[in-house]
Chain A
Amino acid sequence: MTSEKQTHLLVDLHVKYIQSLDTKKDDLEYWLTEHLRLSGVYWGLTALDLLNNVDTLKKEDVVKYVISCQHDNGGFGGHVGHDPHLLHTLYAVQILVIEDSLDAVNVDKIIEYVASLQDRATGAFRGDEWGEIDTRFSYGALSCLSLLKRLDAVNVSKAVEFIMLCKNFDGGFGSSPGAESHAGQIFCCIGALAIVNSLHLVDADLLGWWLCERQLKNGGLNGRPEKLEDVCYSWWVLSALSILGRLHWINKEKLIEFVLAAQDPEGGGIADRPGDMVDVFHTLFGIAGLSLLGYPGLKLVDPVYCLPKHVVQRIGLAERYHV
């Protein structure tokens, strides 16, 4: 750990760090986090693209790996042989869209899988066949189908109805009806509503207020009141503010300072907060946050899909939602 203040983004080190992730097979941690392998590829690849280094991971290898995670029912598991789950299916689609390789998999099967997870009575989405319900899955399903241009495969108005049941007194959203507001869930609900053009259901001033109050004295953002700051909220809070057209309601300079301070100046990567162990999850959300803040030299990120903007533009989805 170093107390030296970081004043710029360590691009080369982060690229090296992401590149090194698959070489740590003599760490027990590597094996204990196998269920995060596919999501790790999404986090790493998106970060690399934003850093102008998407070719660092070989496209054929990436696509081949993603294909190997698909099941007969169309869904994807978190790693080869792991059970299919909606969130991993979204990660797979996101990776394939970045690599422009959707034709490498059976897209119809994916659509069938995602559509099968909607509870037609409530509009909610299950994460997998075991039936857990969460607004994260509503986002996962709508984002995935929107990227595949097949929103017609589910009942969108019912899906919106369910999301609105999860709205709270503070203008935020929780994981299910009755659950407390949480910035991660708010990103999911606001993103989902943006995708299906329903942001008029949001109390934007109230929610924008709550979101900008997440910034703490040290510049970092927390995910709900009374909690510690964490780099990943540079994404969850910031993207929601951006979608609501209120990104300027937080202090950009202070947040940039905080994210930069959470970098590991020796090994690369970004941690949840300064001085902690880095990981690829926080590395992406730190970089994506910086991109939203207009940090120089980074590609622009799309706040709704959490993909590089040029990718979303390429498939014709940019500016398809009212912001």
Chain B
Amino acid sequence: MHGRRRVKPSAEVEKLRKEKEATKIKEYNNLVTSCFEKRDKNEFDNDAFTITTKILSQNPDFYTIWNFRRSVLLYGILKECSEKDNQQTLSTELGFLQELFKLNPKSYWIFNHRRWCLEKIPNPDWNMELKLVGKFLEMDARNCKHFRIHAWDYRRYVTSQLSSTIKTSLTQTEFDFTTTKINQNFSNYSAWHQRSKLLPRLIKEQNLDEQDKKNLVNKEFELVKAAFYTDPDDQSAWLYHWWLVGREIQHISLLGAYYNPKMRQVVLAFDDEIGMVIPFQVTKKINDKSPSSYIEGMWRPAGGELKHDQLNIDRSYGFVWIFTFFDSVKDDFTELIVTVKPEFIVPSHSEIKLTRTIQRHCIINDDYNLENDFIISMSHLSVSDVLKESSSSLSQNPDTLPIDASERIKLLQREISMVRELLELEPDSKWCLQTLANLLRELKYISGTNMEETSKIDYEVVTICDHLIKIDKLRTKRFEDLRSKAIFESATKSLIKLVSKELAYSDDIEQYQNSTFSLESKNLTIIPTPSILLYITKLNLSNNKLTSIKFLANLIDLKEIDVSNNCITDISGVSKLRNLKDLKIQNNYIKNWEEVKNGFIGWQGVECNIYIFGNPLIVNNNEVENLKIGWEDEIKEYGDQLKIIWK
């Protein structure tokens, strides 16, 4: 009952209403019964038509009756009549719909039937329909917003029909119509939406040269700027602006590739949580001259198993992927090659893509001492490395306007200054602040090699987020996530390098391997790219605001992890960390023992100390002892290696 106030009438009023309604119910139900009788007997006559009119006037949402009415028209009234008569009949029908619409502006079945009539009428008057929809949208201005979405839908329908009837594009006139609407009131989200559909079409249809295109787009920026200055807190113009600025597609990077001879595994670390659609190819060569042949084995994301969906498509995701050779594979090779093509993977979301084929290889010497765990770095193939540069069109987001890449930095800088100016007048405008953070991050991404510059940007984004957290209490968690990204990227800068817009582990990464890497007390709510920490064996994430440690599954060499004093509610991601010795998870929000136990199902490590005190699962000492005994019994199947540290 959208928008109907609740009233509790007295018993007497209720009784009177029910008495009055009793007759109406009887009449209505009689109509429905006779209508269904006619339908079941296929009686498509004038009587049937009149009955549907009566029912629909009372109840325009009764879709079965609309269906029958169309059958009556189709197989009865319109059949075998002259074109002129049909024109007349359906014109009357359109008149009926208009009256009905006035009483029930929310019923979309009326619009639905109207479309059907216009498709059946011999000579539809699309211009009249356009006038009509103009009137609907005028009503919109008088606060009848509930059917606005139908009215705009209907307008798009009518203009496309009209356009194909008169064989003329209406893009420009429709574009001008949205300008009029927006100038009447900047807060017209529907009009801005419509503009986002028309602007690219306008550019395409009018075949504008570069300068004209630039002028047109600049006029758009002027329009949104005018909107910002009128009401800096109206989201419509800001969202449109963000679309107008556009975003560059990010490249998925392979941070590193390794071969572990003892485990007979290949490990790939990406900077995105990717899904594998087609297994990556692993091939070997037996000697310099031999052709390469496939190695048989199984891929899985670190910490997970390979799973398939209903259509039998692989649906596992991970930052780090592990390929284990089948036992039958002989160690007779001198070279290993792994190949990942763009079509082999799906990214985590639409703004990031693998734009070229990745190939890595390594040469195998037979004097390895397999007693120790060690890894061999796989490098770019020197000669035949298939680095097909992506075409420039690929790096441009297809949903946004085609703005020349070289112009983008200038554009971003101009818009950043514009927003900064506005912020001086409106220091607490949330939309202004969010947009500034967005623009800065985009600038960092596309310009990004200058370390000093990126540090400055990260710092400013953090400051903006701090401000946003204070002024927009409903969405603090989103800003905390955004802040975490900036902090994490800034704090892990030393672990990676940037080579032509792609990330890789820095050359001196191994120096971090045996000392503790600390991201302590940084207000982190998420770890956006855990694979960056792959080399780290001792990690301190204590005193942050993490709610989950699922990401740890990617850090396959982890020995010691401190996630104490966070907001973690369960243990996950650790059961396959075979080197894990210390899990410090004290002072978190783990409430029950099931969560702890489940976290270690399938434990593959050796001995591990679990520091768990300060979680709400421990109530008093007696209980602790009981739970401890019970719990240790239950995990016996994984060996006695898991030691709970209570104090």
Contacts and interface: CB of A to CB of B under 8 A. Distances in A.
Contact of B6 (A130, A182, A278): A278
A85 interface: yes
Given A156-B311, A200-B346, A277 B236 contact: no
Interface residues of A, number: 76
Given A170-B243, A200-B275, A225 B59 contact: no
A320 interface: yes
Given A215-B474, A248-B477, A276-B6, A83 B64 contact: yes
Given A28-B28, A77-B64, A264-B6, A226 B187 contact: yes
B347 A200 contact: yes
A220 B28 CA distance: 38
Interface string A218-259: 010000111100100000000000000010111100100000
B330 interface: no
B474 A26 contact: no
A94 to B, nearest CB: 17
A201 B348 CA distance: 8
A246 B351 CA distance: 17
B251 interface: no
Contacts of A128: 67
Interface string B545-582: 00100000000000000000000000000000000000
A225 B2 CA distance: 18
B196 A28 contact: no
A275 B474 contact: no
Contact of B18 (A27, A204, A208, A322): A27
A6 interface: no
A83 B67 contact: yes
A224 B236 CA distance: 10
B315 A320 contact: yes
A168 interface: yes
B349 interface: yes
Contacts of B5: 1, 275-277
Contacts of B344: none
A322 B8 contact: no
Given A149-B310, A203-B349, A85 B63 contact: yes
Contacts of A168: 193, 196
Interface string B51-63: 0000000110111
B153 A175 contact: yes
Given A203-B350, A226-B187, A227-B145, A32 B28 contact: yes
A42 to B, nearest CB: 17
Interface in A64-83: 77-78, 81-83
A208 B481 CA distance: 12
A322 B7 CA distance: 45
A146 B63 CA distance: 27
A224 B70 CA distance: 33
A175 B149 CA distance: 10
B193 A181 contact: yes
Contacts of B478: 208-209, 212, 246, 249
B444 to A, nearest CB: 15
Contacts of B240: 169
Given A170-B239, A179-B153, A180-B193, A279 B67 contact: no
Nearest to B7: A1
B351 A205 contact: yes
A176 interface: yes
Interface in A136-163: 146, 149, 151-152, 156
A170 B196 CA distance: 9
B313 interface: yes
Contacts of A227: 145
Contacts of B350: 200-204
> Which of A180, A266, A275 has the most chain B CB atoms inside 10 A of its CB?
A180
Contact of A1 (B8, B63, B347): B8
Contacts of A179: 149, 152-153, 156
Interface in B1-34: 1-8, 18, 21-22, 24-25, 28-29, 32
A56 B488 CA distance: 52
A26 B399 CA distance: 54
B235 A225 contact: yes
A230 B1 CA distance: 11
Contact of A35 (B62, B70, B236): B62
Contacts of B61: 35
B189 interface: yes
B4 A249 contact: no
A169 B61 CA distance: 32
B643 interface: no
Interface in B242-273: 242-243
A305 B188 CA distance: 33
Contact of A279 (B1, B307, B315, B477): B1
B309 interface: yes
A169 B315 contact: no
A132 interface: yes
A279 B4 CA distance: 11
A317 B189 CA distance: 38
Contacts of B414: none
B456 interface: no
A93 interface: no
A17 interface: no
B60 to A, nearest CB: 10
A78 to B, nearest CB: 7
A242 to B, nearest CB: 14
A85 to B, nearest CB: 7
Given A169-B196, A322-B275, A278 B1 contact: yes
Contact of B28 (A31, A226, A264): A31
A130 B399 contact: no
Interface string A180-215: 111000000000000011011111111011101101
Given A180-B189, A225-B236, A26 B22 contact: yes
Interface in B321-359: 346-351
B116 interface: yes
B475 interface: yes
Contacts of A81: 36, 64
A85 B67 CA distance: 11
A321 interface: yes
A180 B188 CA distance: 12
Nearest to A1: B6
B58 A32 contact: yes
A31 B25 contact: yes
Nearest to A33: B61
Interface string B136-163: 0000000001000100110010000000
B319 to A, nearest CB: 13
A73 B3 CA distance: 37
Contacts of A28: 21, 24-25, 28
Given A168-B196, A180-B152, A275 B6 contact: yes
A167 interface: yes
B287 interface: no
A272 B3 contact: yes
Interface of A: 1, 26-28, 31-32, 34-35, 77-78, 81-83, 85, 128, 130, 132, 146, 149, 151-152, 156, 167-170, 175-176, 178-182, 196-197, 199-206, 208-210, 212-213, 215, 217, 219, 224-227, 230, 246, 248-251, 254, 264, 266, 271-272, 275-279, 282, 317, 320-322
Q: List 5 A-B pairs, minimum CB-CB distance, nearest first.
A: A169-B196, A277-B1, A169-B243, A200-B346, A249-B478
Given A35-B61, A251-B473, A282-B1, 15 more contacts: A1-B7, A26-B22, A28-B28, A35-B62, A151-B311, A169-B240, A175-B153, A180-B153, A200-B347, A205-B349, A224-B189, A250-B475, A251-B476, A254-B474, A278-B1
23 contacts: A1-B6, A26-B18, A26-B25, A27-B21, A28-B28, A34-B62, A78-B63, A83-B67, A151-B310, A151-B311, A169-B240, A179-B149, A180-B189, A200-B346, A200-B348, A202-B350, A203-B349, A226-B189, A272-B2, A276-B3, A276-B6, A279-B1, A320-B307
